[in-house]
Amino acid sequence: MQNRVVMLADFDYFFAQCEELRNPAIKDKPVVVGVYSGRTEESGAVSTSNYIARKYGVKSGMPLFMAKRKLEGTDAVFLPVDHQYYEQISNRIMQILRSYATSFEQVSVDEAYLDVTGQVQGSFENAKNYAEKMKAEVKSRVGVSFSVGVGPNKLVAKIACESQKPDGLTIVKPEEAKGFLAPLPVNRLLGVGKKTSAKMESLGIKTIADLASYDVQKLMAVWGKTLGVYFHDAANAADDDVVQEQGEAESISRIGTLKQDSHDLAFILQKTDELTEDVANDVTERNLSFKQVAVYVVLADLSSKSRSITLEKPARDKETIKHYVKELLDRFLSETQLEVRRVGVKVSDFSREEPSQKQLTSFFQTS
Ligand code: TTP
Ligand code: CA
């Protein structure tokens, strides 16, 4: 098998960086984003903070009153979380990152894995330039910085990424991977929490190197076959978990308002063609095929209707969407006298070739 080149992108101090983006005036101050529980003005916890605030000892999960105390006498800015806004920014970045990868796996609002083996011809030298280009594009188009780890698999990419933040780029070649992990404490591995690392320590296992050279049969005797083998492989920098999209979107849609209410098919199609362009781009970027095309219409009396059609076989192109949107709208307009105010285009019922391997990472996320 060809050497894989896997990247992890992790956005820097994400919620706080989003706040700086919409209000650059706070950039040079400590910025703390928190969830206010509402009981008193002070109660709640820190979600994240920018790196200036971190210098004063502010940490995620810390009570807000404690963060306030640490930042006393500074011009710190405290803001409530605005998930909707962070998701918008995240979606814009993810869309760009997705276009850099053969397969793409978003793991949270601010983290995604990319398999770029094909794009860089398996070369870690090329991967460096490629990651720099990707970082620069996101910086100039969205204004957000992030850190990247590059490795021969997801496990190494993730730990590489953590080793240099913010705005980091850390590359670990396959032949360096074991040595890179060796001195780190075992709790840097996914799935090794407090309890497990305490147990490992009692067996004399402190570093990943200790774990890598520990007898796998003994690990299996303590943790069972699946976990024992996993710990052994992970410590040896072995991980064949594939990068794949999780929880695929069920539909892709766009909606827009007409410049003026209308019953004219040609006029309405100008708008739906624009919307279809966006929908089709998303479909292509996510490497999907759809079997259902739908239009959504809000009429002048503000009532809304939708009409859909199921195709005989999956399609993936813009012209197919345009064709059926026209047919659906034409039929719909013949059924009503009312003018149209807003229109939407939606495709759904997706299919895609996907490997169906049970993943260890999902095993940990659910346990
Ligand atoms: P992280 O990636 O852990 O942290 P970060 O992006 O703020 O900082 P960095 O990656 O530069 O170290 O988490 C991503 C977002 O998730 C973070 O911006 C806010 C949110 N979050 C919480 O709401 N509570 C938490 O306890 C943590 C750790 C994160
Ligand atoms: Ca982050």
Mutate to test the pocket of ligand 1, among 20, 110, 170 (most ligand atoms within 8 A of CB): 110
DSSP 191-240: T--HHHHHHHHHTT--BHHHHHTS-HHHHHHHH-HHHHHHHHHHHTT---
Number of Cβ within 10 Å of residue 282's Cβ equals: 17
Report which bound ligand comes closest to the CA of 108.
1
Distance 79 CA to ligand 1 centre (A): 15
Cα 58 from Cα 33, distance rounded (Å): 11
The angle, 0 to 180 degrees and rounded to 10, between the axes of the packed helices 318-333 and 265-285 is: 150
Q: What's the pLDDT at 352?
A: 64
DSSP state, residue 63: B
User: Among residues 241, 329, 249, 236, which one has the least CA distance to residue 285?
Assistant: 249
DSSP state, residue 248: -
Q: What's the pLDDT at 251?
A: 87
Cα dihedral sign, 38-42-47-51: positive
- In the beta sheet, which residues pair with residue 79? 33
DSSP state, residue 130: H
Pocket of ligand 1 (CB under 6 A): 10-15, 47-48, 60-61, 110, 165-166
Q: What's the pLDDT at 53?
A: 98
365 in helix, strand or coil? helix
Cα 189 from Cα 208, distance rounded (Å): 8
Cα 17 from Cα 32, distance rounded (Å): 10
Q: What's the pLDDT at 61?
A: 94
Alpha carbon distance, N-terminus to C-terminus of the chain: 31
Amino acid letter for position 89: I
Mutate to test the pocket of ligand 1, among 8, 14, 109 (most ligand atoms within 8 A of CB): 14
Please identify which residue in the block is written with the tokens 């939708």: 306
Report which bound ligand comes closest to the CA of 12.
1
Cα 288 from Cα 281, distance rounded (Å): 10
Contact predicate 347/283, CB 8 Å: yes
Distance 69 CA to ligand 1 centre (A): 21
Amino acid letter for position 151: G
pLDDT along the chain (367 residues), means of 10: 89 98 97 86 90 98 96 97 94 95 93 97 97 98 98 98 97 98 97 95 98 97 94 96 78 92 97 96 85 94 90 93 97 94 94 45 41
Number of Cβ within 10 Å of residue 187's Cβ equals: 17
Question: Does the N-terminal peptide bond of residue 63 adopt cis geometry, omega within 30 degrees of 0?
Answer: no
Largest CA distance in the chain: 80
Cα 250 from Cα 264, distance rounded (Å): 31
Question: How far are the Cα atoms of 2, 201, 233, 234 from residue 208, in angstroms, in the given order?
Answer: 26, 11, 11, 9
Q: Which residues are placed with Cβ below 5 angstroms of ligand 2, an ion?
A: 10-11, 14, 110
Contact predicate 120/126, CB 8 Å: yes
- What are the pLDDT digits (tens) for 15-54? 999 999 999 999 999 999 999 877 776 789 999 999 999 9
Contact predicate 100/113, CB 8 Å: no
Report which bound ligand comes closest to the CA of 15.
1
